[in-house]
């Protein structure tokens, strides 16, 4: 009976450990390939709360309008929770803006600001042009209250999968100088080249 009891205990601990890792994945993560929804979403969700802020950069915005893809569910959930989200798209599509406008119309306790790049204001050559062209495929999410960071080194348009990704939780990102560098980059790009997209008032539809 003793051996059986020990075996049962080991199995219970093992199952509990597997369930814990699935629900609460290891905090600092590095991925060769990842998606912002299935990989970053659960990790970010652990930390954001009312009054948290997320700065999100993207390329064409496919993640927000791809059929059956759960990224919009996370955004909606965080807005309901009271998170403030600033979304910057470098190479937006109308479909992405339409879906983000739907979220803007129902922000819960939070808020959603959507910005795109006015490429007519970007110099044809030089450092700023190179930075913005790079940001079409180099994406990041920065959180505050608490701080957190998600980086996608290479995310091409037309796909939700990115390469060479990394998540840094609050206790790690506090010691990571990249956070402040990316925050300054976000603020500078928004100030100099971004335009805000306001959600239009919903139109009544006859039933």
pLDDT digits (tens, 9 = 90+) for 43-95: 999 999 999 999 999 999 999 999 999 999 999 999 999 999 999 999 999 99
Model pTM score: 0.83
Residue 100 pLDDT grade (very low, low, confident, very high; cuts 50, 70, 90) = very high
CATH code of the domain containing 181: 3.30.870.10
CA-CA distances (angstroms) from residue 2 to 5, 6, 98?
Answer: 5, 6, 63
- Residue 6 covered by a domain: no
The helix (H) or strand (E) run that includes residue 9 is: helix 2-23
Residue 99 belongs to domain spanning: 27-197
- Residue 47 covered by a domain: yes
């Amino acid at each position: 009976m003793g051996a059986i009891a020990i075996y049962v205990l080991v199995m219970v601990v093992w199952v509990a450990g597997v369930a814990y890792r699935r629900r609460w994945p290891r905090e600092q993560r590095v991925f060769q390939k990842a998606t912002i929804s299935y990989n970053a979403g659960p990790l970010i969700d652990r930390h954001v709360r009312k009054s948290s802020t997320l700065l999100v950069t993207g390329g064409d915005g496919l993640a927000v309008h791809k059929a059956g893809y759960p990224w919009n569910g996370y955004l909606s959930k965080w807005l309901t929770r009271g998170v403030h989200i600033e979304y910057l798209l470098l190479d937006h599509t109308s479909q992405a803006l339409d879906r983000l406008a739907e979220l803007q119309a129902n922000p819960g306790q939070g808020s959603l600001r959507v910005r795109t790049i006015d490429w007519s204001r970007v110099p044809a050559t030089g450092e700023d042009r190179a930075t913005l062209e790079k940001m079409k495929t180099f994406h990041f999410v920065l959180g505050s209250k608490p701080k957190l960071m998600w980086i996608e080194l290479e995310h091409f348009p037309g796909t939700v999968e990115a390469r060479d990704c990394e998540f840094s939780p609050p206790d790690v990102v506090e010691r990571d100088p990249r956070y402040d560098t990316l925050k300054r980059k976000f603020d500078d790009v928004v100030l100099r080249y971004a335009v805000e997209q306001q959600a239009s008032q919903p139109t009544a539809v006859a039933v």
